[in-house]
Amino acid sequence: MARNTPRLPDSHPSGAKPPTLDPRHTPKHVAIVMDGNGRWAKARGLQRTEGHTRGEGALFDVIQGAIEIGVRYLSVFAFSTENWRRSPEEVRWLLGFNRRVIHDRRDSLNEMGVKVLWAGRAPKLWQSVIKELKAAEELSKDNDTLTFQFCMNYGGRAEIVDAVQRIAQDVEQGKLHPSRISEKTFRKYLYQPEIPDVDLFIRSSGELRLSNFQLWESAYAEFVFSNKLWPDFDRRDLWAAIENYAARERRYGSV
Ligand code: IPE
Ligand code: IPE
Ligand code: MG
């Protein structure tokens, strides 16, 4: 059965339209560290969790803005392998929150032609969260407007170590010869090998670090750091970062 034509994203409430860019200057893959929810809440005398709640709206605005401007792959950091160090209350709250977000948003993402993929480690992550992630993946698997990589219990080093373990297993079973392990082979063992390298890496909240996000994939990414806290971020900030990116010269070591 032919799929329905995807529904167009809603416009931003301000009526703002994406800048016109040469498609060659539009990043294919944008990765975002959605940071600053706790500070946003603290500045208003609210609980940290209120900041996360407000971040959901920012994320869905940014997803729609990514579709409008023609980004093909969007990866977002929702929960890191290091976030287990937070209080048990906040960890529990965040897992339940993300489970609810995936469940509630999957139909509307699917209608817009968004393909959802989960990247992260299964051990320790709640089965009920994994179940929602898998359901969203299954529902949206034939979509191709935008591939949305939801990084949940994700760490860049964990991803590399997990790849090494699977490579070692294949070598042990005689499926792979050590001399055949190239960068290209290695890549096939990452969580979502179909997603290309990161072109543009964005972090909100003014922190100037990677915090273990998309380490392998960002080897030649361009970086844009925004001082806005994530709940204040919207698609116009994404577009501004992309315009900044479009003006840069990427050289990959050549001249
Ligand atoms: C980002 O906001 C969300 C997660 C890391 C889950 P934070 O919760 O890190 O907010 P800040 O950095 O404390 O302001
Ligand atoms: C990175 O933000 C993880 C996510 C956004 C999910 P953190 O707030 O956890 O990172 P650090 O602790 O400032 O490095
Ligand atoms: Mg933070």
d(CA 36, CA 42): 10
Instruction: Give the three-state DSSP class for 151.
Output: strand
Provide the β-strand partners of residue 202. 32, 224
Query: Which phi and psi (to 5°) does residue 119 adopt?
Result: -120, 130
Q: Which ligand is nearest to the CA of 82?
A: 2
Residues with CB under 6 A from ligand 2: 33-35, 77-80, 83, 207, 209, 211
Distance from CA of residue 15 to its chain's centroid?
25
Cα-to-centroid distance, 35 and ligand 3 (Å): 5
Query: Residue 31: which of 70, 71, 60, 3 has the closest Cα?
Result: 71
Place of tokens 């401007």: 69
Per-residue pLDDT tens digits of the chain, which is 255 residues long:
446 799 999 999 999 999 999 999 999 999 999 999 999 999 999 999 999 999 999 999 999 999 999 999 999 999 999 999 999 999 999 999 999 999 999 999 999 999 999 999 999 999 999 999 999 999 999 999 999 999 999 999 999 999 999 999 999 999 999 999 999 999 999 999 999 999 999 999 999 999 999 999 999 999 999 999 999 999 999 999 999 999 999 999 998
50-55 contact pairs (CB < 8 A, 24+): 51/229, 51/230, 51/231, 52/93, 52/94, 52/97, 53/97, 54/231, 55/230, 55/231
CA–CA dist 29, 196 (Å, integer): 7
Q: What are φ and ψ of residue 78, in 5° steps?
A: -100, -35
Q: What share of the chain is helix, strand, coil (3-state, %, to 5)?
A: 45, 15, 40
- Using the atom order of ligand 1, give the atom closest to the CA of residue 40: 14
Which residues are CB-neighbours of 111 under 8 A, at least 6 positions away?
A: 4, 6, 7
Tell me the catalytic residues. Answer: 35, 83
CA dist., res. 136 & res. 146, Å (int): 14
Distance between Cα 7 and ligand 3 center (Å): 33
Instruction: Give this prediction's pTM.
Output: 0.97
Ligand 1 site-directed mutation target among 205, 209, 233, most atoms within 8 Å of CB: 205
